[in-house]
């Protein structure tokens, strides 16, 4: 596992994982914009010229959002997702963030288990938030200790 900050050149590799992970994936342009955005902190796991996983943390004052986290199919179940999430939460803590939010499909039981084990709890629901297939989003939040 080799974690580092994401670079613009990582966008195609991130997109490839995104397409295998989600039914309504982000676009290449979305990744490119975020990799250049000052409010985004993106960490990738890169090994031998490939991206095996990534996390996108968006920062705003004392709040943050885990906007995206995905792991390549071959690396799922290895703890990489947990490591990426922990890395993003530590970065948020260092930057003075007090609470972190995210949205997740109720049907995504592996992600729900991961988020709950990291201290996230459901705080709301966004009706029909996801497309392809249409599904609500659970809004989850975790408080960070200073």
Cite the active site residues. Answer: 103, 115
Instruction: Give the tokens for residue 49.
Output: 């010229």
Q: How far is CA 40 from the centre of its chain?
A: 11
Q: Residues 6 or more apart from 68 whose CB is under 8 A from it? A: 18, 26, 54, 55, 56
> Quick one: residue 49, left, alpha or beta (phi over 0 = left, psi -120 to 50 = alpha)?
left
Query: Which residues in 92-120 are b (16+ Cβ under 10 Å) and which e?
Result: beeeebeebbbbbbeebeebbebbeebeb
How many C-beta atoms lie closer than 10 Å to residue 49's C-beta? 6
């Amino acid at each position: 596992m080799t974690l580092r900050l994401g670079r613009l050149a990582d966008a195609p590799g991130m997109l490839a994982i995104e397409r295998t992970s989600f039914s309504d994936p982000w676009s290449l342009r979305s990744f490119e914009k975020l990799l250049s955005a000052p409010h985004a902190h993106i960490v990738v796991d890169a090994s031998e010229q490939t991206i095996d996983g990534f996390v996108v943390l968006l920062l705003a004052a004392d709040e943050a959002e885990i906007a995206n986290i995905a792991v390549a199919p071959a690396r799922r179940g290895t703890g990489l997702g947990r490591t990426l999430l922990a890395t993003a939460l530590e970065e948020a803590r260092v930057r003075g963030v007090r609470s972190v939010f995210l949205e997740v499909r109720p049907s995504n039981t592996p992600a729900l288990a991961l988020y709950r084990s990291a201290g996230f709890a459901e705080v709301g629901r966004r009706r029909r938030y996801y497309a392809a297939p249409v599904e609500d989003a659970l809004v989850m939040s975790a408080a960070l200790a200073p």
